[in-house]
């Protein structure tokens, strides 16, 4: 089978030659056209965060065989001696709180990839409903998994930087959803001896560094997050679109209900504009916030991979980006992501306590109307009133 010639290399199916080098062929990516527009976005629900039930001492996860290593003083942990596939419910609750507390946790020497599809999905559902990605490849008949698959050294990699100086793209996954991801597990199936690290950024720290005056200016602002560009890219490249595009309105400053802290919640991938501001005002403020995010390299960590590592992170409090330093190698990079849905982004404890699925369903009906209000209309309806 020849490699298709399509604009976005993210959607290239692996050739038979490449597939012969894959260690886990059942995890090979597929884009099944019969899944086009066959899935709805998850209906709003009251999320029961398992972190609320965790023990802040993490006693169930600790014994003499378990080793914990801090990656940095504020963000990141490496753990060896715990099998994620064997956790009981109390340990899963402690895991949720551990991940929320440290933002991102790398678990070494895991057997997670050797479990069956259903076992892994059941593991994920303990933390929340599973997200189905609208466009990315998935194992055959398993749309709940998001696959990363690429092989270095191919002709298609030569123009990776043809139009850009770098491929750094800090983001929180699928922030365009009404309820966005929380606990997220990324399992490496196959990789090279080096390269392809993932970088994570602490959005608590990013927010905390803003001046009190700036915090007060942005605390009530909301932004539009959209999947339309992603859907257009998929359509243009010949990929599938499992769901219709969606747009959601989220607070710029997000409140974490378990940790009771605030973080900055905008990203270059999906945040389109700030509501209530004129175009130039929105562009300038959003550009400042995104530049601030991308400049905070002293609030980030970098994790390296091997074929027995699973990294679990909290998509609410960290952003991440891939490191594209491997395309000139001859290595295959193959991994899967299990993404669980958490609460609807909120800006305060009061908002969290008042939120209900019924009220949210009513609010969703007005998303397009609110997004299209002029700055004057928005001010009159949501600020002045």
In a domain, 44, yes or no: yes
Q: Which domain holds residue 304?
A: 20-383
Q: Is 174 helix (H, G, I), strand (E, B) or coil?
A: coil
- 104 near 301, Cβ under 8 Å? yes
pLDDT exceeds 80 at position 161: no
C-alpha pair distances (Å), 195 with each of 37, 189, 272: 36, 15, 31
In DSSP notation, 106-123 reads: EEPS--GGGS-HHHHHHH
Q: Is residue 200 part of a domain?
A: yes
pLDDT at 156: 53
Residue 288 predicted with pLDDT over 90: yes
Q: Give 26-66 as a DSSP string.
A: GG--B--GGGTT--PPPPP-----GGGGS-TT-GGG--TT-
Banded model confidence at residue 331, pLDDT cuts 50, 70, 90: confident
User: Looking at residues 38-67, what average pLDDT do you find?
Assistant: 97
Q: Mean of the pLDDT values across residues 8-18? A: 64
What are the structure tokens assigned to 136, written together? 């990315």
Rounded Cα distance, 162 and 177, in Å = 31
In a domain, residue 189? The reply is yes
Residue with tokens 């504009």: 273
Q: In this predicted structure, which of 31-35, 263-267, 281-285 has the lowest mean pLDDT?
A: 31-35
Q: What is the mean pLDDT of residues 217-237?
A: 94
Q: For 134-151, how does the pLDDT look when each residue is reduced to its tens digit (9 = 90+)? A: 999 999 999 999 999 988
Query: Does residue 7 lie in a domain region?
Result: no
Does residue 129 form part of some domain? yes
Structure confidence at residue 335 (pLDDT): 97
Give the H or E element holding residue 293. Answer: helix 279-295
Residue 242 forms part of a structural domain: yes
- Give the pLDDT confidence score for residue 9 in this predicted structure: 47
Tell me the two tokens of residue 341.
Answer: 């849905």
Task: Measure the CA–CA gap between 243 and 37, rounded to whole angstroms.
Answer: 5
Sequence-ordered list of residues with C-beta below 8 angstroms from that of 307, at least 6 positions apart, any chain: 23, 188, 189, 190, 191
For 51: left if phi > 0, alpha if psi spans -120 to 50, otherwise beta; the answer is: alpha
Q: What is the pLDDT of residue 169?
A: 86
CATH number of the domain residue 164 falls in: 3.60.130.10
DSSP 220: T
What's the pTM? 0.93
* Confidence tier at 13 by pLDDT (50, 70, 90): low
Between 9 and 318, residue with greater pLDDT: 318
- pLDDT number for residue 19: 83
On whether residue 11 sits in a domain, the answer given is: no
Which DSSP symbol is given to 138? B
Q: Is residue 135 included in any domain, yes or no?
A: yes
Look at the chain and report how many structural domains it folds into.
1
Ranked by mean pLDDT, which of 32-41, 150-159, 320-329 comes out on top? 32-41
Average pLDDT, the chain: 92
Nearest alpha carbon to residue 146 among 173, 116, 178: 173
Residue 154: what pLDDT?
A: 55
């Amino acid at each position: 089978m020849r490699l298709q010639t399509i604009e976005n290399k993210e959607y290239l199916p692996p050739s038979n030659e490449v597939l012969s080098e894959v260690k886990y062929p059942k995890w090979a990516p597929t884009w099944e056209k019969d899944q086009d527009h066959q899935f709805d976005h998850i209906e709003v629900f009251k999320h029961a965060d398992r972190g609320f039930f965790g023990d802040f001492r993490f006693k169930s996860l600790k014994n003499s065989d378990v080793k914990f290593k801090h990656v940095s003083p504020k963000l990141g942990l490496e753990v060896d001696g715990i099998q994620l596939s064997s956790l009981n419910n109390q340990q899963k609750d402690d895991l949720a709180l551990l991940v929320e507390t440290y933002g991102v946790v790398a678990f070494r020497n895991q057997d997670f990839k050797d479990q069956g599809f259903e076992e892994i999905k059941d593991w994920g559902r303990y933390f929340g409903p599973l997200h189905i990605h609208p466009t990315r490849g998935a194992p055959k008949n398993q749309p709940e998994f998001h696959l990363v698959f690429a092989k270095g050294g191919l002709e298609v990699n030569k123009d990776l930087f043809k139009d850009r100086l770098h491929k750094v793209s800090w983001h929180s996954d699928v922030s365009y959803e009404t309820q966005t991801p929380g606990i997220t597990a990324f399992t490496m199936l196959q990789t090279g001896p080096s390269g392809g690290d993932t970088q994570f950024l602490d959005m608590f720290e990013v927010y905390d560094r803003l001046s009190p005056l700036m915090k007060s200016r942005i605390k009530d602002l909301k932004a539009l997050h959209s999947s339309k560009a992603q859907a257009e890219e998929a359509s243009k490249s010949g990929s599938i679109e499992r769901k219709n595009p969606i747009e959601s309105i989220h607070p710029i400053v997000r409140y974490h209900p378990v940790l009771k802290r605030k973080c900055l919640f905008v990203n270059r991938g999906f945040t389109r504009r700030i509501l209530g501001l004129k175009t130039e005002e929105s562009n300038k403020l959003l550009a400042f916030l995104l530049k601030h995010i991308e400049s905070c390299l002293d609030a980030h960590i970098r994790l390296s991979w091997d074929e027995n590592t699973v990294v679990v992170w909290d998509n609410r409090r960290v952003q991440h980006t891939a490191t594209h330093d491997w395309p000139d190698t001859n290595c295959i990079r193959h991994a899967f992501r299990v993404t669980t849905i958490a609460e609807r982004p909120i800006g305060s404890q009061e908002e969290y306590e008042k939120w209900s699925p019924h009220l949210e369903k009513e609010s969703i009906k007005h998303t397009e109307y609110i997004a299209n209000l002029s700055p004057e209309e928005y001010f009159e309806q949501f600020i002045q009133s």
